[in-house]
Amino acid sequence: MSNPDFEILLVIGALATIVVAAAYVHGIARVFLVAQAAYWSLSYVARPMVLLWVRPQPRFGDSIADPRLVTIGYDHGIAMVLRPVAFGLWVYAIVVVAYAVWSRHRAGRDRAARNSVRSADDGNLIPTLWTIYAIGVLGRVVSYAAGSTASAGQTQSPNPLLSFVTLMAVIGALGLIVFYRPANRRVALAVIGALTVMELMWTVAIESKTPIMGAALAIAVRFALTGWSRVKVAAIAAISVLGIAAFGWLQAIKASALARAQSEMLDANYPVAMQPFLSILRRFDLLEAATDSYYLGGRPWLTLSDVAHHALISMVPEQLLGTAKFQSGTAWAIEVRGSSVDMTRVSVSLAEGNINEGFVVGGYPGVVLGVVFTFVLVLAGVRALHSRHIIPISMGLMLIEVPVFFERGILGSMELIGKSLQVAILVWIVYLLVGEYRRRTEASSKRKPQKPPHALVDAAGSKDWTGLPISPIARPAQSAITPPSTVGPPRTREAPVSFERGILGRIDLLGKSLQVAILVWIVYLLAGEYRRRTEASSKQNPQEPPHTLVDAAGSKG
């Protein structure tokens, strides 16, 4: 007989095991593991308990009450839906415990070295983060003003270019929260507070919980790097609770009077004590994804070869493919949820979850594969944030922002990794530009001021080249100093702008020339960076290995 209470207790036990094991793991990994347990507890514990307690009837607009569970009965439905979930969480808990034991007993590793950030000595990192944050905020302003912001659940962004630029604000904001270390502590608090408020405002603008959750997780990562204390733990809890509460409050203010009235009618079906938390509970919808996988009934969706194929294709930019890539969230909504719910008039991208996706693809072995992949991704994110290179750092910051650790499977995670790699390359280009600018600025400040060339020509007005006075008429001609071919813009036969083009033609050519010039400039910077590193490595004197010294000493008494 199905017992939902027993399944919920199994889920609670697995999540508690993850939290206890995470307490024995040091650094950023502990933050990610505890955050996973908190996220999954809202989806797989809080939401089923609300359904079993209230047993609400399905109503239009209420995503908590699932009509499929009502049809088969809440007790039987929740018990059957949570069975693969409990199995997957216990597998994940065993993996976490094994990692905690291994990390505690590995020899020859210093705990402080594991928590250090090798990018802290990079003088170009913080200026780069400020630069990309400014670019990203500008993109956010333009996107919001143009009405092209992508809301939660949308299948495609109204403006992919602006959406791509706004991701730079994500990396910049979270990077500054994690890595910014000013000498004045008050400055650090002011910067972190301002960035968190900005992310909360963007959360309300796009109607998604992701930005504020990413900011809270980034603050926790910062504390994991700088050291924990009771005050910091309380601060993280307060930021999370206030962020969630402010999210619902600001959403209510932003909504119209009709929407608020409809929301109040839906919330009236639940106890008064639950009503403040219903808006956030509706955002944690992995229980619906678990119901989708149960109702699919073992029918085939994708094979493992299909999953591997789509995962690899996700790493290639769509512009190079020439065709639309597979979107796992959209495919889940149409093909998996569409098998039990009418989705013909709905276009949305859904979070499938690692356990639910694995169960649909390969049953219980697929669940094991999905949770192991998630744990490997957690370790990869930790490794990326400890890197000294800007590309893995950017990808690690994207993993903090987008909740792939919590609500996406293999396909959704690979889609994010592919997008993160593209954004990271753009951030790397900005990093090179910032480094080149700082090098030139420092080099120019170290030089002594020199007289310009015209001062030398004026000084030569009273003397010739041998030191004898001459008349100004005998001065060298200007064309001898500056050849006529270098004066003015270059003229080419392929683009006779000055002769046969109008204003629109000239502007069009100037735009194309600017794009090509920027590309050439980037190649120039990359070539200069390569030459500098090559020359720096060649200047290091090679030292003889110790065995040659021993051999040389063998011939002497």
* pLDDT number for residue 261: 78
**Is 544 a residue whose pLDDT tops 60?**
no
Cα separation, 429 vs 434, whole angstroms: 9
For residues 427, 423, 135, 28, the Cα torsion angle rounded to the nearest 10 degrees is -80
* pLDDT number for residue 480: 40
Q: Among candidates 431, 393, 439, which has minimal Cα distance to 526?
A: 431
Residue 491 confidence class, pLDDT cut points 50, 70, 90 = very low
Residue-wise pLDDT tens digits, 272-328: 888 878 878 888 889 999 999 999 887 888 888 888 999 899 888 877 777 778 888
pLDDT over 90 for what percent of the chain? 35
Residue 442 confidence class, pLDDT cut points 50, 70, 90 = confident
* pLDDT number for residue 356: 93
- Helix H or strand E encompassing 543: none
Q: What is the arithmetic mean of pLDDT over 44-71? A: 89
Q: What are the structure tokens assigned to 520, written together?
A: 């050439």
**Is 154 a residue whose pLDDT tops 80?**
no
292-295 long-range contacts, CB within 8 A, separation 24+: 292/332, 292/336, 292/337, 292/339, 292/340, 292/352, 292/356, 292/360, 293/84, 293/336, 293/356, 293/357, 293/359, 293/360, 294/77, 294/80, 294/81, 294/84, 295/68, 295/339, 295/340
Cα separation, 94 vs 100, whole angstroms: 10
Cα separation, 174 vs 196, whole angstroms: 9
**Is 396 a residue whose pLDDT tops 70?**
yes
Cα separation, 418 vs 409, whole angstroms: 14
Residue-wise pLDDT tens digits, 353-365: 899 999 999 899 9
Q: Among candidates 299, 403, 419, which has minimal Cα distance to 359?
A: 299
In SS3 terms, 139-178 reads as HHHHHHHCCCCCCCCCCCCCCHHHHHHHHHHHHHHHHHHH
Q: Burial letters for 361-386: b for 16+ Cβ neighbours within 10 Å, e otherwise?
A: bbeeebbbbbbebbbebbeebbebbb
* pLDDT number for residue 95: 96
Residue-wise pLDDT tens digits, 191-219: 999 999 899 888 888 877 788 888 989 99
The amino acid at residue 90 is: W
Q: What would the DSSP string read from start to end of 179-200?
A: H---SSHHHHHHHHHHHHHHHH
**Is 132 a residue whose pLDDT tops 70?**
yes
- Is residue 350 within 8 Å of 74, Cβ to Cβ? no
Cα separation, 177 vs 195, whole angstroms: 8
**Averaging pLDDT over each range in 270-284, 396-410, 435-449, which range is the top one?**
396-410
> Residue 479 to residues 138, 396, 470, 488: CA-CA distances in angstroms?
46, 56, 19, 13
Separation of first and last alpha carbons in the chain:
90
**Is 331 a residue whose pLDDT tops 60?**
yes
**Is 462 a residue whose pLDDT tops 60?**
no
Q: What are the structure tokens assigned to 349, written together?
A: 């991208």
Task: Please state at what angle helix 390-401 crosses helix 160-179, rounded to 10 degrees.
Answer: 100
* pLDDT number for residue 548: 47
Cβ-proximal residues to 198 (8 Å cutoff; 6+ apart), any chain: 137, 173
* pLDDT number for residue 276: 78
Residue listed under structure tokens 């060298």:
476
Cα separation, 174 vs 217, whole angstroms: 9
* pLDDT number for residue 269: 84
* pLDDT number for residue 477: 45
Cα separation, 16 vs 19, whole angstroms: 5
Cβ-proximal residues to 212 (8 Å cutoff; 6+ apart), any chain: 196, 199, 200, 203, 243, 244, 246, 247
**Is 134 a residue whose pLDDT tops 90?**
yes
Residue 507 confidence class, pLDDT cut points 50, 70, 90 = low
Q: Of the given ranges (46-55, 193-202, 241-250), which has the lowest mean pLDDT?
A: 241-250
Q: What would the DSSP string read from start to end of 86-116?
A: HHHHHHHHHHHHHHHHHHHH-SS--HHHHH-
* pLDDT number for residue 525: 72
Residue 3 CA, chain-centre distance (Å), reads 40
The amino acid at residue 460 is: A
Q: What are the structure tokens assigned to 272, written together?
A: 């008064």
For residues 64, 68, 73, 75, the Cα torsion angle rounded to the nearest 10 degrees is -60
* pLDDT number for residue 104: 83
Q: What is the arithmetic mean of pLDDT over 455-461? A: 49
Cα 362-368-372 angle, rounded to 5 deg? 125
Cα 352-355-358 angle, rounded to 5 deg? 85
Q: Of the given ranges (9-13, 176-180, 304-308, 454-458), which has the lowest mean pLDDT?
A: 454-458
Indicate the pTM of the whole model. 0.77
The amino acid at residue 453 is: P
**Is 464 a residue whose pLDDT tops 90?**
no
In the predicted model, what is the mean pLDDT of the chain? 80
Cα separation, 279 vs 289, whole angstroms: 18
* pLDDT number for residue 479: 41
pLDDT over 70 for what percent of the chain? 75
